[in-house]
Amino acid sequence: MASVASFPVINMEKLETEERGAAMEVIRDACENWGFFEMLNHDISHELMDEVERVSKAHYANCREEKFKEFARRTLEAGEKGADVKDVDWESTFFVRHRPVSNLADLPDVDDHYRQVMKQFAAEIEKLSERVLDLLCENLGLEKGYLKKAFAGSNGPTFGTKVSSYPPCPRPDLVDGLRAHTDAGGIILLFQDDQVSGLQLLKDGEWVDVPPMRHAIVANIGDQLEVITNGRYKSVMHRVLTRPDGNRMSIASFYNPGADAVIFPAPALVGAGVGAEAELTDAAAAATYPRFVFEDYMNLYVRHKFEAKEPRFEAMKSAAEVVHAAPIATA
């Protein structure tokens, strides 16, 4: 049975030492068997992380707490009267879009200092995301930059940050902080509260805590990486529990494909032919996962986020088969 003690943690400094091989093996095992890992010494300064945490918690207290209290009151009242409130999430959240076009300047109730801190943090997280993607390429035997290129589309990746607070809940039996789901996108990097736990992943049929660690960044695999690796890496169900005390901070950054990026299993991971055309033909035949445009997947995901991922993949495969089977119009 998996436990917090065995949760994969990578000291990124070891990648620059003779222990690199062992560290890469931890990353490989994490991506194949956990869908999550935690990074220490990742080159994002502790001072910047501390300031991100400070301004994020202050913003919730000053701008969002009162509004959340009204939601909390209505939710608890309904739940205690017997209504099913399992289809709501006990969270206060807003989304910062960085790429392709930033919305930082348009966010209400966010002061200039917070904007500047978030812009600086996003630049560091984006750099770390691309570093992690190249480490995954190395583990998979793909050429450096393959995953970044696969995500690029015509305008580069989609990149944004979800800033969430999970306030204390007096009835954690009634409602989850965030319902179980897999993430739709590529690689997700999370800066989570190191004092208040709550994030769990599903491994071997058991819910396992993602341990809070000071100044750590948690990485997890999204659905698109599962497709590109043809199932070698797996996105996994995860959730946030409510707690009766403590306000959990969560700052999750999503490095995703561009809207028009075409996602498909990497030919090198599903069989090799002779020459480029043969390789692509063989790969298409051997691929377990479908080929699709990321935006089409997202349009399906938003309706079925809190459901199993496999029917989403099957729906995209069926849609692709319909397109390929359609007769070609002739003049």
pLDDT tens by residue, 5-17: 699 999 999 999 9
Predicted local distance difference test score (pLDDT) of residue 276 = 43
Predicted local distance difference test score (pLDDT) of residue 274 = 37
Structure tokens at 50: 């501390």
For the chain, the structural domain boundaries read 9-266
Predicted local distance difference test score (pLDDT) of residue 83 = 84
Number of Cβ within a 10 Å radius of residue 201: 22
Structure tokens at 75: 């939710």
Task: Please give the Cα distance from 108 to 2 (Å, whole number).
Answer: 42
Number of Cβ within a 10 Å radius of residue 278: 13
In the sheet with 206-209, reading across from the earlier edge strand, the strands are 178-181, 238-240, 199-203, 206-209
Number of Cβ within a 10 Å radius of residue 11: 14
For residue 90, the SS3 value is coil
Low-confidence ranges of the chain (pLDDT < 70): 1-5, 271-286, 322-331
Task: Please give the Cα distance from 226 to 292 (Å, whole number).
Answer: 13
- Nearest to residue 220, comparing CAs of 27, 81, 23? 27
125 CB-contact burial (10 Å; exposed 0-12 / middle 13-18 / buried 19+): buried
One CATH from 3.40.1010.20, 2.60.120.330, 3.40.50.300, 2.60.40.1220 for 9-266:
2.60.120.330
Q: What is the pLDDT of residues 26-35, one digit of tens each?
A: 999 999 999 9
Regarding pTM above 0.85, the answer is yes
